[in-house]
Structure 1
Amino acid sequence: MAAQLEVAAGFGGGDVGAPQAMATPGLEMMFRADSAKSADEPGSPVTLRTNFNPLAAFVPAVHTDAEGLARVSVELPDNLTRYRIMVVAVDEGGKRFGTGESNLTARLALMVRPSAPRFLNFGDRFELPVVLQNQTDAPMEVNVAARAGNLELALSGVKVTIPANDRIEVRFAASTVMAGSAIVQVAAVSGEYSDAAVVQIPVNTPATSEAFATYGVIDNDAVAQPILQPGDVFPQFGGLEISTSSTALQSLTDAVLYLVKYPFESSEQLASRVLAISALRDVLSSFQAEGLPAPAELEATVSSDIQTLQNLQNNDGGFPYWRRGFESIPFNTIHVTHALYRASQKGYTVSEEMRQNALAYLRNIESHYPAWYSKETRQTLSAYALYVRNLWGDHDPSKAYRLITEAGLENLSMEAVGWLWSVVDNETHLASIQKYVNNHVVETSGSANFTTNYTDQTYLLLSSDRRTDAILLDAIMEKDPQSDLVVKVVKGLLAHRTKGRWENTQENVFVLLALDRYFNTYEAQTPDFVARFWLGDRYAGADEYRGRTADTHDTSIPMTEVIAQTGGEDLPANIILSKEGTGRMYYRLGLSYAPTDLDLKALDAGFVVQREYEALDDPADVTRDSDGTWHIKAGARVKVHITLVATNRRYHVALVDPLPAGLEIINPALAVSQDVPREGPSTLRYGWWWWRPWYDHQNFRDDRAEAFTTLLWDGVYEYNYYARATTPGTFIVPPTKAEEMYSPEVFGRSASDRVIVE
């Protein structure tokens, strides 16, 4: 529709104020059908409003006439709303300015406003609300008609009476036909007045995506992995993902830099820096790591630290924390002696006198324990001392055997077990330790870690979960290098970094020591190979690796092709992966899919997830039938309560809760939203004294709520958000799902739900 605005600028002589808009505030414009015939005549079309551009016009320059007036013709969009008109004026000399503002309301005598949900799920049945508004001073009989694509409407039309200057709501019962997009057109006619509107609604598949994966390595030749045709899945979703890389080591620069630049210089921290630089120098040089100081600078740092440690050593051979002459600390002394060994192996000069005095302290470590040290603390320190003596060639397997016999493996810390594993030489004892360690590992298809427990004196040992994993990884590589756990524990450790490093000096140094052994054991050859893949008789692709790189290459095969290449649920096809050339190839085979069953049961493949709906204002607003169906009163506010259980440490976790299409999330971050209750301590990570949620970030979207965290410790967590029931109907709700984003085969889901808004 066209509107002409007239503005007086009034530029004449003398002082001139701001120009005044001539349009009257609250000016109302009438839109009518673009048909010359009456809407009552047979075949008379009803104009469909389709242009909803929020900007009606932008005119950068208009010149006034001799009377100071400027006229602008504007074709208004189809929005039935109030427009804001803003004018800025300037005189010919560019020295005087003025502004003016008014508004304009666009409306029809008869207006149609469909109030469709933001989305639908396949299987939903709902009532589409349509608001009809009479803007005249007389009652109006109106014929309302609706038609839709990808929706079945129970009623195509109805005749209603709208009081003068009033509005009513008409509902059209509808149900989804298939996933995709639904289009609804609604028209209303009363004599010469008419209006029509169209809405488009996405129709989602209410299936949760799932994934399974297997990991492996290829040193020579090829491997064949059978794959069965997935049953009862949507062919347009998911597929097979093949990921390859030439190293399990991602960038380790940040971890080394953390130790190099660590601001404090106790004996423990100096020793950790010596250990890290000595161990990782060759690895980082191979990968041409950026950001590290020059090699000469690093060597000077290590030499200086060794000299500082020598100056700290007490007469008893031990090392205090900060100053010579203070009490020697058993753990620090063992750790420094460990660092001196690693440095000597990399060619750094270590004083023979300092070495012998430190080893003498370690041989009689038990005599240096304070009386208040607990039995477990003493046992762990003795195990570490035996490990370091063994590195220096001072073997004492009989003492290690006595320690195991007196304490029992089950009463030793996992760190002590890992250190003693390297010392004992009896095959029976080695087998017992290997069995014990294997029984205390928690595995997924892609990663692994070990179960640990701590005491009140853990601070004396500077223990942590990551350090334990690293110590046991190092022992496994030494004693059982072909173990499948090796690559999994490496992946678990790498996934646990924050900003490229681990939590503290102890974690960083022991992880780096283990990765140094890993590099020299499994990745000593410079990669120079081509990886090729086949699915059945189809060639799927190839990746090439020349030289050391931390890059990962991905190849995707759509589900339609996976189904085509597999001959049925009982006739598997082979995924063949080959490697031609030198170096180790790492691979991940992942299968992602969406089940066609809309009534999914809860599933635990790494997480336990449960969802409930609770009334916020009146307990009667939300009820549940014996069959699990939820009933929610239209207009009611609802608390969505998610319970998430992690049975083990999880990394990069995403929690996604799909919304019933009849509900809309109340986002408290928006100024126009209603207030919602503040979360209590039960949903927070550390309790009432630190109000921090367990998740790092959350999103509220049209069809779902999302929460993310980089690290999730084992435990029970709660996640709450609030919504309002806006659209009556029966709605299918996909399961709530939690997964590790980078290992989606580790996941869990709640059951599907059915929600009736009434």
Structure 2
Amino acid sequence: MTPRATLLELPIQNVEIPAGEAREVAWNVTAPAQLAFTRAEALLWEVEAKDSVSGARDALKAHQRLIPAVPLTVQQATLVQIDGPFSLPVAPPADGLATNGTIRGGLKLALQPKLAEGLPGVRDWFARYPFACLEQKTSKSIGLRDGKLWQGVLAQIPTYLDADGLASYFPPREGEGARGSDILTAYLLAATHEAASLNPAFALSDEVRAPMERGLTAFVEGRIQRNFWSPQKDLDVRKLAAIEALSRYGKAQGRLLGSLTLAPNQWPTSAVIDWINILKRVSDVPQREQRLAEATQILKSRLSWQGTKVTFSTEQSDHWWWLMTNGDVNTARLMLAVMDDPAWKDDMGRLANGFIARQQRGAWHTTTANLWGGLALEKFSAKFEATPVAGVTRATLAAATASVDWAKVERIKTTDASGAPNQTTAFGAPASPGTLRGNTMWLPWGKTPPETLSVTHQGTGKPWLTLQSLAAVELKAPFNAGYQITRSVTPVEQAVPGKLTRGDVLRVTLEVNASADMTWVVITDPVPGGATILGSGLGRDSQIATQGEKREGWAWPAFEERSFEAFRSYYEVLPKGVVKMQYTVRLNNVGDFALPPTRVEAMYAPEMFGEAPNARVKVEAAK
């Protein structure tokens, strides 16, 4: 047996296999850490078997995924326009993991000639985003401007629609009834319409859009109802979002407003923006011009500035997370709503810079904010940025230097190898057709921090710099920010008491203590490499082993995801208090495994989360 594997030196093994029998052949290896920090996260195997008597040969190729237990993450980030020399004192985190005395990671610098070319920090954020409901799949594919990924999502959308044509976050289960979400449906219609105005490839097809339009119309007219948990009354706000989405396709009329109480001064900012868009598109609304002037004045009166950062005076009450909206979303949608309004022309530059200042670690907080934000700044750039960038941009950090020659920056084509799916990059989003190549720099951390980063541009134009500080920081103690999560493991089937052995079956109990009621919460718990999470109903599953799994508390998962790397449970509503849930896992591989933290997070209020570190798991061979 002759093995070959990426970055590994493996010995040849000779094995005797009697006729009619089988033998297992294994190699004990240490996973190459550097492979886990590439975009591909893959270890490639090729094993060739040769019969020493007959000379017969066979070979097997396999792809093994490697996920870092402590990944490189963005510690800090900023987006600035290079207009003259730029310098910044930088240092890696003191507790960052090191290799050979040097902190892992460094500074990633990505340059764009204008904002219309996209935001590297946002693309990287989307590339790392792990969750997969319909909204998140849509936001991610469009946010990455990945046409192929979007076509895959578009093909799946019909399976997410209920009998009324409204979209669900996860495919409806048989017998569940019509529980599609009006707010999700409105978001899909509005976001794809906005994206299609920049690139028609991201439009919804007529066949997919038509039932969604019918469903929203029926919802607004009261012919169907959707009653979901919410912390306050929200029906008028939801109907406004639905009418705004319909107005984009010419499907809204003034009569649809008949069931609403028109009190824009009492609405959250998201609803005021919807109202402005409706008034601009629907011509038969009574007192249209007067109402539009009133709504515009309300928006202007709510705008506030903290230095260069734009906020709203109603920011706290505007955080309607259960409807997927917040201050970031509102700012982006405000920019889109007034982009072509001459009365706002002089404010657009300040709004764009103020919106960028709302970013944290190079992106905004949520999938919806990052999609709307990317669309808003791309549209702003196309309208207001014209000067081309040429020359050379140089960066220096201690003894390390790097540069971007703008004459060599080029756009990736579909036919280029680097534009192919799943190609490798050191960190962040993979290259894709239409994005730029040759516009990034990497400066590793030095051995004597802190140091000063210096960036200069020699030539025409003012390039935009996305600067990200990357390091691998291990979670050493539980962290609670609205959620507390604990994890315990008990054996269901154990060959050797007190030891974990290949073939053992374990019951994992996760307990979450929530400080507040919240919608759309996800719990993620990693499993050792090669382990199988039971309960999927697929081959080699075990119904007997999963018997006795318990759930406690007033919450039930909307969807459960059993992947090769983790168990995920999505909750439509996770109430305040304690919730317990269990799952069962079988250990299939011998080894010593490091695990990432167990995490609970509110997907549309990500400042609400909890994490708990996990100890290494050692699985021994059966005797």
Normalized per residue, the structure richer in strand is 1
Decide which structure has the larger Cα Rg and report it: 1
Please give the TM-score of this superposition, normalised by the length of structure 2. 0.40
More helix by share: 2
**Could you tell me the TM-score, scaled by structure 1's length?**
0.33
User: Which protein has greater RCO, CA pairs closer than 8 Å, 6+ apart?
Assistant: 2
